[in-house]
Each structure stands twice: as structure tokens, then as C-alpha cells.
Amino acid sequence: MNGIHIGECETFETEVLIIGGGVTGTGVMRDLALRGIHCLLIDRRDLNAGASGGNHGLLHSGGRYASADWETAAECRQEGEILKRVATECIEDCGGLFVAVAGDDPGFAEQFPEHCRNAGIPCQSLSRAEAREREPGLTERLIAAYRVPDATVDPFRITLENVNHAQRLTGSVYLPHTKVTAFEIESGQIRAALCQDTRTGAARRILARQVVNAGGAWSMEVAGMAGCRDVNLLYSKGTLLISNTRLSRGVINRLRPPGDGDILVPGGTISLLGTTSDTVTGLQGIRPTVAEVERNLDQGIAMLPGLATTRFIRAFSGVRPLVQAAEGIQDGRQASRGFTLFDHESQGLENFATITGGKLTTFRLMAERTGDLVASRLGNQESCKTALEPLPTGDGVRWTKPGFSARYWYQRQDPTDAVLCECEMVPQSAIDAILETAPGAEKPMELQAIGLRSRVGKGACQGAFCSLRVTSYLYDLGHYDSNEGLVRAREFVSERFRGVRPVLWGEQLPQMELAEALHCSLMGLDRLDDLASGLGSVPGVGQE
């Protein structure tokens, strides 16, 4: 499907427009495509720009919610089991522990097995020695430990796989950098979504029979554009830290009411420690702070003393959209982690739905419910297939997993395949595969988009070198004939810096100093604008 230009405005047509390229929106896209429906997915930035790219990657066994919210807990357990079957490539079934340490409430710990039983979650009590044998990094001051079937999930991979599959099934389309700004509404129906290309400013008009709002934390804003006042969200900001080593065998949860720094999640060759939870009033300027990093660390160290000397390479933040059921809940941790599907019929609209809240773990179920509603509205009789049909994989979507490119490169043994990112061993051939076959990104694909589809920029140097190497490679391929490539590289390292800034101490500080020397002193990225405009005006420089 191609856009048709009418005057200044490019017009697209589809059966279902999905707004939001997170795990939910892409999940809905695949769900509908499996029912034979054509979809158009848009995101104001790119895939996983929201919470789906800023979370803990924990495929919850449900243990975390067993004590306070057994429905969510049971939902997590059930969905976890399904995903372990159908999305094997995206999941590491590493198991998890819940541990209490001296000072934690022993009563809370004692009730844990019973709460798990109520939600149907397998839970095995471990002795202190057993727990520490399994996870040697645990503190000696353990007072209780239980084993649960937690796992970890690569959200980047899941999202890419969803889009990849939907594209193949029905020729569904994904448009990045496309932000919905308004809707054309006529007699109870959305006729078109008016969008803007956030790169070029160009207007786009999308005609669709059904519209799904999967805008995550932004879904209240998007619903508002259609005049719907029924979506009422609480925003809960969470911040996490990444280390570039694997600190544990499986997931380690603190056994106490949820608090800062109480879950460690390994994934491939890295680990994530988090998370904070702070209610925020807006979605602007969300970035991790030094104070949040300190809170996570102080708490995490009580459980895993080695964290005090661990090298963290980055922090990041995401915003959880929590659906406010009851009036007056101000604390994000008390609000339900359940999801809500709004059919908006009470708001006088017949072809609009919003799916929000929930978890990464439950995205499939959220997509199923949404798919059921949308399909029935379209008169489509097909039932949901995502619980049984495995996610296929493809050459363009394999590169997000920590450690994968390195194995691939060593196995391939091709001396002409230059490694462009040395920290994560991402070779040129991986970039080629992504440029050619990774789902949905602008052509030519920018460094940011490549970073999202690979490990480029995610290793110890956080893009200091690889941003420049990949940029040179893109120049070599002829993607740019001006300083645009450098402008993109500058954007990329600026974005990386937001996450690096709060963890700059110890070994990361020399790394940062080198990065800044490279980017500014050597390459002049800090002065690109001045250099571009001012060069001609420096008269006949020098004495040579």
C-alpha cells in the first residue's frame, strides 16, 4: 500500500489504524493480521519508544503481585506460560527467586507461598544455603527464599517480531515518526486520523474503518483528541540501572511490598536493577536522575552486596500507565497493574478503542481482547490465534539480544566482516541485514533506528565509538551527502548520554571523558552548526 499525494497531504488507507508502536500496539497488529486483517501501525517516534523500550524485561510469574492483587498475578502466570511456548526466541526461562533479608517483615515472607497458591503460581521454599548456592551473589543475611517460574523477555525482539509477522501475513504497514494530532469525526465514526511526520513536518491523513489507540502512557492524550474523556491514567515513572555483566543466574526479587531497587533481572550478558516508582504529572522530560539511581543502589545492595562495586553503564526511565479505577489512589504502586479495554461507546464513538495499562507480560492477552472487539466490529469471524501460533523469526530481527551478535560473528569467521561495534561485536553484515530486512523504519534507516534494532550503542562505551563507525559506514553506503550523518550521530550520542549521566563514576568516567574527547575535540560534533556556517568566513587561515 502506498500513500497517495493529494496536494500537500499524503493519504493512506487501511482497515485498522493502530496508534502506538509498543508491545501492545504491535501485539494488536499481529493479532489482527492473523485474522486476515490489514493494519497500519504508526508511532510518533519509532518502535518501543515508550514503556516497551524502558522496562525491566521481567516475564512475571505473578509472584510480585501475589500478595496484593491475585487477579493480576494469575493473569501474569497464565500469560507467562503461553509466551514461553509461542515466543521461545524472545524469552530466557531462567527462573527466579523471592528473597527476604534481615530487616524485612518475616510475616510478609511467611504468607508468600499461600498467596502464590491462590494465584496458581508454583512456589518452592529454599533453604538459605540452597538459595545462595543457586545465586552466590545473595547476601548472607537472608531470612527466606522461594523459587518461582519467573523468566526474562527481550521486549525489543518481541515488538520487531510482531511487526515482522504482521507485515508478512497481510502486507500490514508500519510508519515511524508519524504522530496523530487530531481525528475527523462524523456521525459517531472516526473517518480519518490526521498525522504529522515528526521528522519533516509533513501532514499525513489516514483513512481507517477502525482505530485502536495503544498509546501507552499517552493513550489518555490520544483518546482526548477523539473527544473521549473516559480514559483516566496515573503516570508512574520508573528508573532502572544496567550493568554490562550478568550478575545472577535468574531473576531475584525482594520479598516485601514492592519498593525501589528490589528486582534484579538478568538478560543475556547484562543485568537490570530496579525499579523506582514515582507518580509524575506529565510525560515531558522523563529521564533518569542521580537521586533515583542512588535509591535503587542503596536498596539493591541490601539484597546483593556486590552491587556496591558493580559497573553500571546506563540508567533509563519509563512511564507506566496505570488505569485509575477508583478515585483517590495517588501511589503508583497501589494502583492496579491490570489493563482496561475501552470501547468508547459511552463516548459516542463506534469504531474507536483504547487498550492501556497492563504489563509487558500480559500484552498478548491485551491484544487478544482488543482483536476480538475490533474483529467483531468489522464483521470478521476469525478467532484469536496468538496463544497457539508461534512467533516466526527473521534475519532482520535477531540482533537485539545481548551476546547474540558476538556468537554470530565468531561462528561466521569472515575476516572481511568488519566489527563496527566492538563492545557488543556487531559486524557490518548485521547492519546490512537490519538495513535490508528489519521491519519498518524509514529509508534510509538512521543510526537511532539501527540502535533500536541491534545492540549498537548499548555496550560499555555507550556508542562513543560505534556511533562514529556506523555513521562512516552509512556514508560509505551513500546514505548521506551532507553533514546530516553527523547530525544524526550527534542526536544518537545525546540520547545515549541522558542515560549515562546518572551512572558516571568509577570506570564509566574515563569512558565518558574519552567519548567526549572523541565527539568534541576530535570530530567537532559540538560545533557542527558553527563549523557549517562559519567556516567560509575564517579568512585565509594560517601562515602556511
Ligand X SMILES: Cc1cc2nc3c(=O)[nH]c(=O)nc-3n(C[C@H](O)[C@H](O)[C@H](O)COP(=O)(O)OP(=O)(O)OC[C@H]3O[C@@H](n4cnc5c(N)ncnc54)[C@H](O)[C@@H]3O)c2cc1C
Task: Give the Cα-Cα-Cα angle 26, 313, 247 (nearest 5 degrees).
Answer: 85
Dist. CA 425–CA 283, nearest whole Å: 34
The residue to which cell 526479587 is assigned: 253
Does residue 539 interact with another protein by CB under 8 A? Answer: yes
Q: Which is nearer to another protein, 171 or 506 (CB)?
A: 506
Q: How far is the CB of 26 from ligand X (least distance, A)?
A: 7
Q: Is the link from the previous residue into 310 a cis peptide, with omega within 30 of 0?
A: no
Q: Which does 388 bind (CB under 5 to 8 A by kind): ligand X, another protein, none?
A: none
From candidates 332, 418, 423, 436, binder to another protein by CB under 8 A: 418
Q: What minimum distance in Å lies between the beta carbon of 181 and ligand X?
A: 7
Toward another protein, which CB reaches closer, 201 or 415?
Answer: 415
Among 102, 290, 325, 388, binds another protein (CB under 8 A): 290
Least Å distance, CB 311 to another protein, is 12
Q: Is residue 289 a contact point for another protein (CB under 8 A)?
A: yes
140 touches which of ligand X, another protein, none (CB within 5 to 8 A by kind)? Answer: none
Residue 231: name the closest of 242, 247, 241, 217 by CA. 217
- Told to check if 194 binds another protein by CB under 8 A, we report no
Give the residues lining the site for ligand X (CB under 6 A). 19-25, 42-45, 49-52, 54-58, 60, 179-180, 214-218, 222, 238, 240, 275, 318-320, 358-361, 514, 517-518, 521-522
Residue 445 has what DSSP assignment? P
Q: Which whole-number Å values give the CA distances from 200 to 124, 178, 203, 441, 510, in the listed order?
A: 55, 10, 9, 15, 37
For residues 431 and 420, the answer to whether their CB atoms sit within 8 Å is: yes
Q: In the numeric block, which cell numbers belong to residue 84?
A: 514461553
CB of 535 to another protein, least distance (A): 5
* Candidates 85-93, 119-127, 211-219, 498-506; binding stretch for another protein (CB under 8 A): 498-506
524 binds, among another protein, ligand X, none (CB under 5 to 8 A by kind): another protein
Please give the residues from 464 up to 493 whose contact with another protein meets the rule CB under 8 A: 465, 468-469, 471-473, 475-476, 478, 480-483, 485-486, 490, 493
Bridge partners for 153 per DSSP = 91
Q: What are phi and psi of 102, to 5 degrees?
A: -50, 130
C-alpha angle 214/187/24, rounded to 5°?
Answer: 10
Q: Which of 200, 327, 416, 443 binds another protein (CB under 8 A)?
A: 416
Which one of residues 420, 425, 434, 452 is an interface residue with another protein (CB under 8 A)?
420
- Residue 213 corresponds to which cell in the numbers above? 489507540
Q: Is 444 in the site for another protein (CB under 8 A)?
A: no
- Contact status, residue 172 vs residue 41, Cβ threshold 8 Å: yes
Please say whether the beta carbons of 276 and 258 come within 8 A: no
Q: Does residue 203 belong to the site contacting another protein (CB under 8 A)?
A: no
DSSP of 31-93, one letter per residue?
HHHHTT--EEEE-SS-TT-SGGGSS--EE--SHHHHTT-HHHHHHHHHHHHHHHHH-GGGEE-
Q: Is 504 one of the binding residues for another protein (CB under 8 A)? A: yes
Give the nearer residue to ligand X in terms of CB position, either 42 or 447: 42
Rounded Cα distance between 273 and 543, Å, is: 56
Partner whose footprint covers residue 416, from another protein, ligand X, none (CB < 5 to 8 Å by kind): another protein
Contact window for another protein (CB under 8 A) among 313-321, 345-353, 446-454, 532-540: 532-540
Answer positive or negative: Cα dihedral of 490, 46, 183, 205.
Answer: positive
Distance from chain centroid for Cα 508: 24
Cell of 72: 493480576
**275 touches which of another protein, ligand X, none (CB within 5 to 8 A by kind)?**
ligand X
Q: Which is nearer to another protein, 392 or 534 (CB)?
A: 534
Rounded CA-CA distance 420/270 in Å is 20
Residue 125 binds to another protein (criterion: CB under 8 A): no
Report what 179 binds from ligand X, another protein, none; CB cut-off 5-8 Å by kind. Answer: ligand X
Q: Name the strand (E) or helix (H) holding 515.
A: helix 508-516
Contact yes or no for 183/297 (Cβ under 8 A): no
Q: Could you tell me the smallest distance in angstroms from the CB atom of residue 206 to another protein?
A: 34
527 lies in the site for another protein, by CB under 8 A: yes
Residue 412 contacts another protein per CB under 8 A: no
Binding site for another protein (CB under 8 A): 287, 289-291, 294, 297, 415-416, 418-420, 465, 468-469, 471-473, 475-476, 478, 480-483, 485-486, 490, 493-494, 497-498, 501, 504-506, 509-510, 512-514, 516-518, 520-528, 530-532, 534-536, 538-544
